[in-house]
Structure 1
């Protein structure tokens, strides 16, 4: 894990509309706007509410929440690319593969690459890594909209 912080949790809260328990990005550690790349982290702790009911005897982070963390990372990328007047809303998730679980104590490194970004929406390629191993991958589509239209 990188000690470098490009965006801290306070800055992320200014970008994303999500709040506890659905804010799933802890920090951004790399941001390359020229190449449409972002790397963010999610620290998985045993204190997460979902562990109370999601396999409590053998806790694993729900895959859909890893996908949500990847989508939120994509939303930060879109915002930082200059699309700040609207918010990214999930439109599609394709080619999803869950390859290994994320467990309490793991740090998920979320690597997102913008394939297409515009004022109407976008598509990103997203990969979640745990301990250097691919955990989840997907292609995620977004629509950009104002809060009044939601």
Structure 2
């Protein structure tokens, strides 16, 4: 997890296009300037970053389902719930699945777990558009390689 660059996913563990599901992993850094203020003496991962980790996880699933032809952008967060604290050094397992697709939008539900225990969940809505420029597409290709995106998923 590289919080300072908003890269919150370390690696893709499982991607099942037929089931429209994905599981990723991310290790919360043990030190970050974010923890200096959130909160002194009791550092916890901000809820907004847990939501962003669920959004990024869902985004990778949608990118795969759209065969990297369209870029998903977070449009709405519904029913986000923080169910427990996430501390520096913990390993997140983030899961997402598609609830609905159509008309330029997709809805996913996602969960953040630590050691199998639910810490956060949300229903997320995305709009998606063709990649706006080659630079963004190239950046996403590079990040896909870094997180171990299974290229064979695009061959279907």
Q: Give the TM-score taking structure 2 as reference length.
A: 0.78
Q: Extract unaligned runs of 5+ from structure 1.
A: 1-8, 10-17
* Paired residues for 1:76-115 under 5 Å: 76-115=60-99
* Paired residues for 1:1-150 under 5 Å: 20-118=4-102, 120-146=104-130, 148=132
Q: 1:119 to 1:84 in 2, by over 3 A?
A: farther
Q: Take 2:44 and 2:15, find their aligned partners in 1: how far apart are those partners?
A: 28
For the Cα contact (< 8 Å) 1:83–1:119, is it kept in 2? no
Q: Give the TM-score taking structure 1 as reference length.
A: 0.81
- Pairwise CA distance, 1:131: 1.6
- Pairwise CA distance, 1:82: 2.4
> What secondary structure, in the 3-state scheme, does the structure 1 residue paired with 2:5 have?
coil
For the Cα contact (< 8 Å) 1:33–1:80, is it kept in 2? yes
> What secondary structure, in the 3-state scheme, does the structure 2 residue paired with 1:57 have?
coil
RMSD: 2.2
Q: 1:19 to 1:50 in 2, by over 3 A?
A: closer
Q: Take 1:81 and 1:57, find their aligned partners in 2: how far apart are those partners?
A: 43
Larger relative helix fraction: 2
Q: State how many pairs are aligned.
A: 133
> What secondary structure, in the 3-state scheme, does the structure 2 residue paired with 1:67 have?
helix
